[in-house]
Amino acid sequence: MEVFKFIAHSKKAICIAAQHGWYPGARYTNLRDVKTFSFEGVGFLDIDWKNYDFSRHIDAAAQKKPKMTIARDVECIFKLDQVLREAEQLALHSDYVAIVPKDTLLNGRISELIPSDYILGYSVPTRYGGTKVSLQSFDRPVHLLGGRPDVQRQLAEKLKVISLDCNRFTFDARFGDYFDGQIFRPHPEGGYENCLIESLRNINKLWDGYVVHDEVKKLAKLVTL
């Protein structure tokens, strides 16, 4: 199996990404851009983690029935029980639900405190956020949340990656830059679509040959059944 790749951006970007094997994504706050795409069983439902609204999230999940959605970030260990109760409801409408540990009090305790039914969401460090929970604590299949494509691939050497979402290259494309497999650089011809296409090709190449961990394969098979 391949790592699932999701993009949650504009209708145009999603359409181009779909031609390169990526799947549509959207925040529960904005389903407009995916209304013309097949979403049930293949899409990624993201959250507004700064202004989280469970009612809107569960309503969107029930409507769209995504392949994957993200539960509320666990920024405080004392809110974990609430997050797990919400995740249990989200699991009724989604193949996968990811729990995102961010409180360092979860270091070394994820297996103990978070049921194995859930995959883990690793918030890739950026200037906008990230997690300080140790990589060693992520001991099961992981969804990579955002960040640079090269950083995501580096993390995959230490984590059991089942999926990722990546929008970073869409923002660089607006300024005529594309991801060449290592860095972002100006596209020789320019153009938003050219930048998107080249970035997608090079991100896909990064993941060519990635050996999916047996635990990830087993989980994917169970969900498929």
pLDDT digits (tens, 9 = 90+) for 35-78: 889 999 999 999 998 899 999 999 999 999 999 999 999 999 99
Q: How confident is the model at residue 218 (pLDDT cuts 50, 70, 90)?
A: low
Q: What is the mean pLDDT of the chain?
A: 92
Bigger pLDDT: 143 or 130?
Answer: 143
Q: What is the pLDDT of residue 187?
A: 97
Per-residue model confidence as pLDDT tens digits over 72-122: 999 999 999 999 999 999 999 999 999 999 999 999 999 999 999 899 999
DSSP bridge partners of 15: none
Q: Is the pLDDT of residue 132 over 90?
A: no
Q: Is the pLDDT of residue 138 over 70?
A: yes
Distance of CA 194 to the CA centre of its chain: 24
* Residue 36 burial (CB count, 10 A): 11
Share of the chain above pLDDT 90, in %: 82
pTM above 0.85, yes or no: yes
Residue 95 sits at φ, ψ, to 5 deg, of -65, -45
How far apart CA 47 and CA 82 sit, in angstroms, is 16
Closest by Cα among 163, 194, 164, 157 to 179: 194
Mean pLDDT value of segment 149-177: 96
**Structure tokens given for 36:** 């013309």
Look at residue 225 in the predicted model and tell me its pLDDT. Answer: 39
Predicted pLDDT of residue 2: 83
For residue 221, the model assigns a pLDDT of 58
pLDDT the model gives residue 125:
86
- Judged against a pLDDT cut of 70, whether residue 180 lies above it is answered with yes
106 or 1, which is more confident?
A: 106
Torsion angle defined by CA atoms of residues 53, 27, 23 and 11, in that order, rounded to the nearest 10 degrees: 160
Alpha-carbon distance values, 150 to 7, 47, 179, 183, 211 (Å): 16, 23, 9, 8, 17
Calpha distance 28→46 (Å, rounded): 6
**Percent of the chain at pLDDT exceeding 70:** 93
Least confident of 120-129, 146-155, 192-201: 120-129
